[in-house]
Amino acid sequence: MRTNQVCALAFLLACAIHDVSAQVDEEYEGQGDEEGPEEILGMGHEDLEHPADVELSLADVFHMHGEVDTDQSGMITREELLAYFHKAHKEGRLADETLEEMERIDGNQDGSVSLDELKEAYHPFKSENDPEVLAEEEHLLHGTKLKFANADADESGELNFDEFMSFHIPDERVHAIEAKLRLEEFDQNKDGQLSYHEFEEIVKDVEGDNTTSEAPTAFTFLDADESGFISLEEYVPWELGHFDRDKAITRLLAAADRDGDKTLDV
């Protein structure tokens, strides 16, 4: 596994020079200990060459290191690695996929997406004969409207590509709305925060009823003020995937940081 982790670090640095997306997404969640380097970083095999085929010159290594080392200190920190993960979702393959989805939804082909076009694409049917199904559809539509409003940065009533990118692959602004809706859904006593039990139910909802191993570690990670509860502000990083990325970064540093200074030189 150590060899795979070192290969994963090479993949991360290769992303900086090749502008390839490196996202830990839903495909990574819930996987066991056997994932390879592509899965650790949230990449598919189509994104990069097999590690055995990657040949790096000394100049390549220096260039890659410099791309991630944003303060040019000569050392890559955990924070710089995380920052690279966080920005990479708007580059490479995912951007191409988002453009394809936008073109599919854009019924009048005017280069932007209206709320009506989103409704037609994602909420086309109404089950008026079933009150429970209708209520669920209205709940989902309400969430779409909130996401649309937050993604529509220029308040034009339509989403351009950058705004649709925020809607389709939610950024911090849009994720704040999704986090609020999800917290409200699982906040059983309606006190505006999540107890451990309430958060555990969210983890079960994501990973399945029989998988709750993430809950204790994730709860401690998110409970920044150690109050024993997770506020909305503390919960947003979970929706953003920061917990999974932090785990991946921890594994990469553990594999490559030979002198134990918690940074990576060239």
Residue 51 has pLDDT above 80, yes or no: no
Per-residue pLDDT, 16:
38
- The 10s digit of each residue's pLDDT in 239-257 is 877 787 777 788 888 888 8
Residue 118 has pLDDT above 90, yes or no: yes
**Cα–Cα distance between 5 and 213 in angstroms, integer?**
22
Per-residue pLDDT, 132:
81
Residue by residue, DSSP assigns 104-169 as: HH-TT-SSSEEHHHHHHHH-----TT-HHHHHHHHHHHHHHHHHHHHH-TT-SSEE-HHHHHHHHT
pLDDT band at 198 (very low <50, low <70, confident <90, very high): very high
Per-residue pLDDT, 254:
81
Q: Which DSSP symbol is given to 56?
A: -
Residue 213 has pLDDT above 60, yes or no: yes
pLDDT band at 127 (very low <50, low <70, confident <90, very high): low
Q: Any idea which fold 93-168 has?
A: Recoverin; domain 1 (1.10.238)
Give domain limits for the chain.
2-92+244-264, 93-168
